[in-house]
Chains A and B, each alone.
Chain A
Amino acid sequence: MENILELRNINKIYGTEIKNQVLYDVNLKINEGSFNSIIGQSGSGKSTLLNIIGTLDKPTSGDVIISGKNVKDMKLDQLAEYRNSMIGFVFQFHYLLPEFTAMENVLIPYRIGNNKVSNEIRRRADDLMNLVGLEKVKNNLATKMSGGQQQRVAIARALINQPKMILADEPTGNLDSDSTEVIYELLRKINQELKTTFIIITHDRRIAEKADRIIEIKDGKINLDINK
């Protein structure tokens, strides 16, 4: 299988005067279409790694290569376009725009790249809303929804541009175990149907074990890498 992502000797050091190294020479290859989980203790560097993969943060040294392209060689605008079309983010605190309805939130990544929303895209958004089970509340304001519903909106939003890769940082961190189960089933289904690559940070070992691959980060290094 093709590598969609490759990390080469990634180091991350925070601070200039008091240096705090968070990642040490991380090397990692991710297969296209795979479903990966990242686990590790709090403060081990998981979010830092995911943000570097998502081009939101820059490594202090090392290379991030996505679909054969080195992120280092891209300009800020190119990176923005790239994030918009290739990557879907699901953050722990869902980060919907409170000024917009659920449906409008889902369409925002598309609107960023296009001035007009075609009927085809509207249908796609409707399908996504059905997929995440929100067809009844899709016209509610983002703030007028439960935490689990908001998280599902965020997932639908991450999918609207049909990205190659979804990066999720504890997407179910503040949900009860039943909702967590539902959302993972959903992500798994999307992975199988659309062949989207997933990299998911989770604290929940039960969930992690359902992934194709479990990567454990310990003190800024890859401690365990289990393929199933």
Chain B
Amino acid sequence: MKFSLQMALRFLRSSKGQTLMIIIGIAIGVSVQIFIGSLIQGLQKSLVDTTIGNASQITITNDRDDKLIDDHKMLMDKIKTTDDDIINITAVYDSATFLAIDNESQSLLLRGFDIDTADKIYDIYDRIYLGKAPIKDNEIILGKQLQEKYDLSLNDRIDILTVDRVDQVFTVVGFFDFKVTSLNTNWGITTLTTSQTVFDSDGITAIEMQVDEGSVFEADAIAAKIAEQLYDYDLKIDNWKDANQQLLSGLQGQSVSSYMIQVFVMISVILGIASVLAITVLQKSRQVGILKAMGIKNKVAGQIFLFEGFILGFLGAVLGILFGLGLAYSFTIFAVNPDNTPVVNLYIDWRFIFISGIIAMIASTLAAAFPAIRSSRLNPIDIIRNN
């Protein structure tokens, strides 16, 4: 083993109490960092997830008067080749209609979905709590609030009026709950073919898609690539980021404050280590002096304390990661909603945890730099003479 490393280990072992204190200090710093980091990341993820997890992230529409997109199969093939991160692409026929029940009438967005591909975005099958998804022509599913409001049951027949006052009779085959009242009161979901038949068109009104989970924050860039690809077709391409600027700046503010907390935690840890190690150098100056008299080089005398810093950082980081994970775990166990689901789902990002550990290790090695310089400058004659 390297001499300076062996020396460092022996010095650390000889003052166990002090060593343990520093390690625990670093560990607390690292665990707070990991806990706060995981909490904030978890919060952000769930926020983003509720916003766009079951929604179209990039939507293509046409500004033309009839709002229709022609030849959508060809367009969708083109889009799929634009970026590997594009997933869950589906064609939709939306139309604003009126639902007429019991002499009352209310507006209803009639969404003609290709149910199987739309399910990838909207989780339609899972959201149906009663009945089944529409398959045959003129089958429809409605939201929970509508069912309650009009006291509807399966296989009820309802009238839907198009803007052109054409009356269509639909059979209610199921009810869904998207957990969002506006969707539950305003959406009626039918098949794409039904919509196209009702409106006597073979076009669609929108192409919707999602991107891979890891790329949701690149949705604007991907949308721009699509825009370039479809430049000749004069279509309108929206993405969730442009539509949610406020959410994004909120997230950013949250991230910045989380970084600030983490930086300050780390700084206080570094100051703590640096001051304790500075004392250690004083305590060990007799040893360093005698070693220098016996011929260790100044560089090696410095290395001893750099190794001390590194070892303390390493053990502190390992312990801190364990603490942090334990803290996160107990948080999900003890901070729960009435239904026993955690208040916040923590996001355990191993890369982030690994980096936190590495930073703690680098930081404590750097914190040892000052004591190391002191040790390398120590003149042995001052020690030898002083007795």
Contacts and interface: CB of A to CB of B under 8 A. Distances in A.
A51 interface: yes
A111 B7 CA distance: 11
Contacts of B297: 76-77, 80-81
Nearest to A51: B381
Interface string A147-187: 00000000001000000000000000000000000000000
Interface string A80-120: 11111100010111010111100000001101110100000
A212 interface: no
B120 interface: no
B11 A99 contact: yes
Contacts of A99: 10-11, 13-14, 287
B385 A47 contact: yes
Interface in B238-278: none
Interface in B1-21: 1-3, 6, 10-11, 13-14
Nearest to B379: A56
Contact of A108 (B1, B291, B384, B387): B291
A97 B290 contact: yes
A74 B385 CA distance: 23
A93 B384 CA distance: 9
Contacts of B286: 95
A225 interface: no
Contacts of A135: none
B293 interface: yes
Contacts of A115: 1-3
A56 B381 contact: yes
Contacts of A85: 295
A209 interface: no
A51 B384 contact: yes
Contacts of A97: 287, 290-291
B67 interface: no
Main secondary structure of the interface of B (DSSP, over half): helix
Contacts of A108: 291, 294
B47 to A, nearest CB: 54
Interface residues of A, number: 29
B328 to A, nearest CB: 38
Given A80-B296, A115-B1, A115-B3, A51 B291 contact: no
Contact of A92 (B2, B295, B299, B387): B387
A47 B290 CA distance: 16
Nearest to A154: B290
A129 B13 CA distance: 26
Interface string B356-387: 00000000000000000000000011001101
A51 B386 CA distance: 13
A204 interface: no
Interface residues of B, number: 26
Most chain B C-beta atoms within 10 Å of own C-beta, residue among A80, A93, A108: A80
A93 to B, nearest CB: 5
Contacts of A51: 381, 384-385
A91 B298 CA distance: 21
B292 interface: yes
Contacts of B14: 98-99
B355 to A, nearest CB: 32
Nearest to A79: B295
A81 B292 CA distance: 10
A56 B291 contact: no
A96 to B, nearest CB: 8
Contact of B295 (A57, A84, A91): A84
Nearest to B3: A111
Nearest to A100: B10
A56 B385 CA distance: 10
Given A95-B286, A100-B10, A112-B3, A84 B294 contact: yes
Contact of A83 (B293, B299, B385): B293
A97 B11 CA distance: 10
A109 B1 contact: no
A95 B385 CA distance: 12
A60 B293 CA distance: 20
Contacts of B381: 51, 56-57
Interface in A7-34: none
Given A97-B290, A99-B287, A111-B3, A76 B298 contact: yes
B137 to A, nearest CB: 84
A85 B385 CA distance: 22
A56 B380 contact: yes
B3 A56 contact: no
Contacts of A84: 294-296
Contacts of B291: 97, 108, 112
A56 B384 contact: yes
A177 B10 CA distance: 35
B295 A83 contact: yes
Contacts of A47: 385
B376 to A, nearest CB: 10
Interface string A39-67: 00000000100010010110000000000
6 contacts: A56-B381, A76-B298, A84-B296, A85-B295, A111-B3, A115-B3
Please list the 8 inter-chain residue pairs (A to B) with the smallest Cβ-Cβ separation, ordered nearest first: A84-B295, A99-B14, A83-B295, A95-B290, A99-B10, A93-B387, A80-B297, A80-B295
Given A51-B384, A56-B293, 16 more contacts: A56-B384, A80-B292, A80-B297, A81-B297, A83-B294, A84-B295, A91-B387, A92-B387, A97-B287, A99-B13, A108-B291, A109-B294, A112-B294, A112-B295, A112-B296, A115-B3
Interface of B: 1-3, 6, 10-11, 13-14, 286-287, 290-300, 380-381, 384-385, 387
